Amino acid sequence: MKAGSVFAGFLTCPPGRHRAFNTWHDSDHRPENHGQIDHIYHSVRYVADARAIEARQVYPDGLADPAGEYFAMYWSVATPEQLLYDMTVVRERLRLLGRCEPINRDFRATWRDRLHVVDAHVPADSPVSADGVPLGPHAGVVVTLGEYPDELVGWVQRYDNEFVPRLLAAGDVAGMFSFMPMKEEDHHLFLHVWFVRNDPVAVQIRANEIEEALGAPLSTIHVRGAYQPISVGRYDTHE
């Protein structure tokens, strides 16, 4: 795969700061990271509307409680370590210019990390490769931050051989990506991002039904939620 790593984060805004955050992210943060870091080739921000937030699964006092209204990703061909270093350098440059105030004022990350790209699945009849899925049109994503069960081998085999084919079979999932946190002490965690062609909430519900039908072993889900893309200049209802 082209992708070597991603930055991913769940973000939340205080009341009245949503438009300021979205404007800053589109006009400052994304342009500077793309402009100064040559290995970043794609970035995107998603939002959870009221219906998606109501349907969201959050483990109380878990790693992403609260998960927030937004989910953001930066895609890179470099390692997670290089991505972390270069994004930190850009942030420090902006801080010295007095342009990091929004980070402390308009939003906060409830969970974020730089992650390895572990695996990807696309339908057998997919017109694009796995690398093309994040860049192509899609209706949204379903994101799961989870923790592997003790019975790891059985769970991974079931996920790859039973869960993935069943979720792809309905035809409304364009691609399924698995990510591993950068630090070894966090390798008990996983992040799954599924790119969907239709209603992401419906895909989230179907995934839950498939997991229930398959039974144990089960992972611990810290958060699973549905998100829609945000285009530049078109913001959401969280004002």
Residue type, 220: T
With 0-12 CB in 10 A as exposed, 13-18 as middle and 19+ as buried, what is 55?
A: middle
pLDDT of 127 strictly over 80: yes
CB 50 within 8 A of CB 14: no
CB 8 within 8 A of CB 87: no
- In tens, the pLDDT along 89-105 reads 999 998 898 888 888 78
Query: Which pLDDT does position 239 carry in this prediction?
Result: 63
- In tens, the pLDDT along 129-188 reads 999 999 999 999 999 999 999 999 999 999 999 999 999 999 999 999 999 999 999 999
Distance CA 145, CA 224 (A): 6
Query: Which pLDDT does position 238 carry in this prediction?
Result: 67
Query: Which pLDDT does position 235 carry in this prediction?
Result: 56
pLDDT of 236 strictly over 80: no
Higher pLDDT, 68 or 231: 68
Identify the CATH assignment for 5-229 out of 3.20.20.70, 1.10.238.10, 3.30.70.100, 3.40.50.1360: 3.30.70.100
Query: Which pLDDT does position 163 carry in this prediction?
Result: 97
Find the angle CA(214)-CA(220)-CA(222) to the nearest 5 degrees: 125
Mean pLDDT of 20-29: 91
Domain ranges of the chain: 5-229
pLDDT of 234 strictly over 70: no
Query: Which pLDDT does position 1 carry in this prediction?
Result: 86
* DSSP classification of residue 61: T
Enter the tokens of residue 176: 């399924």
pLDDT of 54 strictly over 60: yes
